[in-house]
Amino acid sequence: MKPYGTYIFDIDGTLIRGNEALLGAVETLKHLRETNTQILLVTNNPAETKGEISKRLNQIGFEIRKQEIITPIDALKIYFQNHQPTILAITNNSIKEEMRNLGWQVVSEYTNSLPISYVLMGMSQEITYKDFVEGVRALDNGASLLGMNPDLFCPTQEGRVPDTGALLSCLELSTGQKATIVGKPTKWMRRAILSAIHHPVSQSVFIGDSPYTDLAMGVELGMDTVLLHTGITKYKNVELIHQPTRLLNDLQELYEAING
């Protein structure tokens, strides 16, 4: 395998499943760190802040800094550039707080007295039926629908759970409005990644388990790609629209290829 200056990894289904590191993941990142290779983690995780993600990864055994993580919030910053949106957020409370810290007006309920610019959906175990009702009301009164990521499910230790893409369908079907997605593999996430890499795309590689988000993101960036059989393809047969540069079972095979 040719050497790269920047290695970009997806997280869930690539490095970890739930709170367990996948085979070869810790060793691969440790080796890259020791060789002064740039590491970036680009996730569609809509439920955790960078601080929460880095803390969880470090507890598992990785050594990750917050500034090495790119999330849909980074894509939202680009999407809302030069705007001061009012957002009805159907997300975890920590995500709402992170958006407020960016200076955005974030609410959890629709009222006639406050025009809502956007209804933002992100996978959350805190979501209730009332949240969907509030979202429909805001959309019926002129708000635009945003999704933090398009993923239909997320792999966990216990199996898979519905992700943002599946939850968005309820609002889309109820209102007839199609959501705009900001996470991988969109142009807003592409711009967030390009602003963070230290090497040209020709010297960078994108590694993940999803052909729909990770492989597509790498192709959009013009990078080499590595698709792993550790996440999405474990649950469904996938017809690849794009062919990855390398197709591997897991990161143990990548570690061996890097050291081979």
Task: Please state the domain extents for the chain.
Answer: 6-72+184-258, 73-181
- The reply to whether domains 6-72+184-258 and 73-181 share a CATH topology is yes
Q: Per mean pLDDT, which of 98-102, 112-116, 155-159 is the most reliable?
A: 98-102
What is the CATH code of the structural domain delimited by 6-72+184-258?
3.40.50.1000
What does the pLDDT read at residue 249?
Answer: 93
For residue 250, pLDDT over 80 is answered with: yes
What does the pLDDT read at residue 33?
Answer: 94
> Which pair of structure tokens corresponds to residue 180?
């705009």
- What is the rounded average pLDDT of the residues 133-150? 97
DSSP 82: T
- What is the rounded average pLDDT of the residues 145-149? 97
Can you tell me which residue has the tokens 């492989």? 215
What does the pLDDT read at residue 157?
Answer: 75
φ, ψ of residue 225 to 5 degrees: the values are -135, 150
What residues contact residue 120 under an 8 Å CB cut-off, 6+ apart?
A: 76, 87, 88, 89, 90, 91, 146, 147, 148
Higher pLDDT, 162 or 235: 162
Over the range 139-166, which residues count as b (16 or more CB within 10 Å of their CB) and which as e? beeebebbbbbbbbbbbeeeebeebbbe
User: How far is residue 15's CA from residue 13's CA, in Å, rounded to a whole number?
Assistant: 6
Residue 244: which of 12, 14, 5 has the closest Cα? 14
User: How far is residue 235's CA from residue 162's CA, in Å, rounded to a whole number?
Assistant: 13
What does the pLDDT read at residue 238?
Answer: 65
For residue 235, pLDDT over 60 is answered with: no
- What is the rounded average pLDDT of the residues 91-97? 96
Q: Which listed CATH number (1.20.200.10, 3.40.50.1000, 3.40.50.300, 3.10.20.340) goes with 73-181?
A: 3.40.50.1000
Instruction: Work out the angle between the directed axes of helices 93-101 and 72-79 (0-180°, nearest 10).
Output: 40
pLDDT tens digit sequence for 28-83? 999 999 999 999 999 999 999 999 999 999 999 999 999 999 999 999 999 999 88
For residue 190, pLDDT over 60 is answered with: yes
What does the pLDDT read at residue 233?
Answer: 64
In percent, how much of the chain has pLDDT > 70? 97
Confidence of residue 234 (pLDDT cuts 50, 70, 90): low
Confidence of residue 112 (pLDDT cuts 50, 70, 90): confident
